[in-house]
Structure 1
């Protein structure tokens, strides 16, 4: 009977190369299952985010500062699914890196850049929605297309400059060269970071996270207060029916904002804790644990379209038009996507 793991069979990533890494042999059933699951997650990331990009780019009614931020977020997640997740899938299942050291560094930079860009976009979207809810009269003046473009540029620039400069300058392993040399082998692609850059990376996670928590908490409080005021003003006119509509609107707002915050917390916190624990406790975390928490962060890119778009009727309507290929022979760019 074949076990899931076959520890007694010593295998190497490159059998004919000295200094090759050990390979963890999985049974055929486990390997096929992993490939199917990771492939489906990658496809979900690509398809979902591509639909968001096409919808916002094609339909003129969706050309707004907020939606441009959402489209840019979808671009970051789509690029992650296109350029990073396929290679990460092979590395996770085969437990080896077959694409060379240079591409390993490039792949790791793209990985971190797209993930950080996604985080920053989520943070900027929360700022946009906070201004829209708390100051709706001033919002069109404060949050214009140029402002949205500035946020997008900041998200992309900081992410790429930070990750590429650290990795290709070698700053990430300054002071821990002895450890990295001891663990280096042909077929490995797991960059390590010293304590300084681990702390900096943690800050880049913590600041957006707590910003989102604070802003979304404030948004929900304002929405509830405004709904109650409107309910009181209309108390004499179909109060029961109107109350039902207000309650439904409150639940929907709570659901969307709650899912966004909880998903971000659940999917990113394990990775941040793992990285910090590894750096401050002499790199004790096994590679398998790293693989698991990394795929948790990838999953955030897969569900972003569901959280920020699929809950809205306009997105479902746009998807129907795109999937039915009506945009190929009909001029649907000016159609009304919002419910009356």
Structure 2
């Protein structure tokens, strides 16, 4: 940093010492919140796994991705910001660029599979999605991310450090292979899963609306109506997670694609690069806060850690954690005859 007798780094000269300090402090906060918050979420799920349904596996996977982002990616960005340059080896640069891309692709594909899981659970509540299918979805998200990222530096391009950035990334396309790489990443890793997420959630809410409208019939028990409220809360939580991801990651997606197409790279303000990457890092810090505020299991764990265990134990466990029987109207029979199913089959966190 600048001071008496010290030399300004290139970034301090370009952006000013105050801007560099603000960016460094913000990222330091992101690192602490994202690492501790996501670690707490993972521990909470492991502790209460017998009370959790299979939907929590997706939350656990997202927490793993966010935790790795906090401990493997963000510290390098802080170091590069402070030194004004990437001070590590070429191998470290490749690893840095590779991990950024792998974790981004894994995140959005996990959200896509989580949406599909929720839809399957709502469409056929009598047949829970098998744990092996959930495992295959998680494995598919990681496998595709690793394969595409390997293409980005092994066959179709490579990762480099660009001046006035805080991380390594794919080289701008200069030939056909480079443009193919951009097309694959843009379509398969962002636009396609985003379209699937939107399409599935539209179908899900239409299906859920028809299902839960029946539960509002006065002839059904108060517990059935509680299921309606619980499922609405779960659906809103999933939407919040997806929306926060899009808000935080769309700027970097738009920036990288614009920078790839614009001829004069120097016309792009250099400060935009760290800002859009900070938005993506912010997502890793936001997610555990969403889980904690919206999910009763995590609230109880946090209460216990904070010494509020007695009060939390006095509250009724959320419906999604109960393996009780609830009721649903059977549309094929006149009147309101009931069919039973386990509440966990509908509960998808």
Bin for the TM-score computed over the shorter chain:
0.7 to 0.9
Aligned to 1:144: 130
For residues 1-340 of structure 1, what are the structure 2 equivalents within 5 Å?
Answer: 24=14, 26-27=16-17, 29-62=18-51, 64-92=53-81, 94-138=83-127, 140=128, 143-167=129-153, 169=154, 171-172=156-157, 189-194=168-173, 195-203=179-187, 204-232=189-217, 234=218, 252-253=233-234, 255-282=236-263, 284=265, 285-308=268-291, 310-322=293-305, 324=307, 338=318
Deviation at 1:49, TM superposition (A): 1.0
Deviation at 1:313, TM superposition (A): 0.9
Does the C-alpha gap of structure 1 residues 338 and 291 become closer, same or farther in structure 2, counting only changes over 3 Å? same
**Distance of 1:54 and 1:237 partners within structure 2:** 35
For these two proteins, the number of residue pairs brought into alignment is 303
Does the C-alpha gap of structure 1 residues 310 and 144 become closer, same or farther in structure 2, counting only changes over 3 Å? farther
User: Cα RMSD between the aligned structures?
Assistant: 3.7
* Kept after mapping to 2: 8 A contact 1:318/1:337: no
Does the C-alpha gap of structure 1 residues 170 and 103 become closer, same or farther in structure 2, counting only changes over 3 Å? farther
Give 3-state SS (helix, strand or coil) of 2:271's partner.
helix
Does the C-alpha gap of structure 1 residues 165 and 69 become closer, same or farther in structure 2, counting only changes over 3 Å? same
Does the C-alpha gap of structure 1 residues 33 and 188 become closer, same or farther in structure 2, counting only changes over 3 Å? closer
**Distance of 1:287 and 1:170 partners within structure 2:** 28
Does the C-alpha gap of structure 1 residues 166 and 237 become closer, same or farther in structure 2, counting only changes over 3 Å? closer
Deviation at 1:323, TM superposition (A): 5.0
Deviation at 1:54, TM superposition (A): 0.5
Deviation at 1:296, TM superposition (A): 1.4
Q: Deviations over 1:216-255 (max 9, x none)?
A: 22222222222221113x16988xx998x68855763563
Does the C-alpha gap of structure 1 residues 200 and 286 become closer, same or farther in structure 2, counting only changes over 3 Å? farther
* Kept after mapping to 2: 8 A contact 1:24/1:95: no
**Distance of 2:53 and 2:123 partners within structure 1:** 18
- Which consecutive residues of structure 1, in runs of 5 or more, have no partner in the other structure? 14-20, 175-179, 327-331
Q: Deviations over 1:111-158 (max 9, x none)?
A: 1111211111111111111111122112x1xx2221121112111122
Give 3-state SS (helix, strand or coil) of 1:54's partner.
helix
Give 3-state SS (helix, strand or coil) of 1:211's partner.
helix
